[in-house]
Amino acid sequence: MADTPMTPPTRRQALIARGEQWVLVILALVLVAGVAWRGITYYRLGAEPLEVIPAAPPTYRVDVNTADWLTLAVVPGLGEALSKRIIDLRDRRRGLKSLEELKEVRGISDKTLAKLRPYLFIGNGVRADGEAVQMVDPPPGPGAREQSRDAGNYPAGN
């Protein structure tokens, strides 16, 4: 067997030059330091707590006797299935006389009906060009009383 001459190993060339590697390391360190600084200042200074917003009163009411299932489905607490069951009950009875009758619908209990009452009403069953939804004026906000008090009820001469 003939011996093959040994060739010295060739040195592989780096994909990124040594100077570029140092630049990338420094950029990575700056990025990590920036993220750490942002996290520390966020938790040290703290975020302001969110203000709890009370539930808004309903601004609309839906006539159970004239609304279609899609209009009823928009009511909070009702969905497609319950609204279609309400329509079935209404059609079988040819109109509802009170909201209490809704308890006969599978899925509506006393508790559910109590949540639905602010959003529903029983009309006369005659639909007058899209009158299935009745807008409700929301009660005046906390600043309304102060405005009316300061609206110019001052004695003459001031």
Sheet strand arrangement including 133-135:
120-121, 60-63, 133-135
First to last CA, the chain: 123
Residue ranges in the chain whose pLDDT is less than 50: 139, 143-158
pLDDT at 13: 76
The residue written with tokens 């906000």 in the block is 141
The model carries a pTM of 0.49
Q: Does the domain spanning 60-135 belong to CATH 1.10.150.310? A: yes
So where are the chain's domains? 18-47, 60-135
> pLDDT tens, 47-84?
666 788 777 776 788 888 888 889 888 888 888 999 99
pLDDT at 137: 62
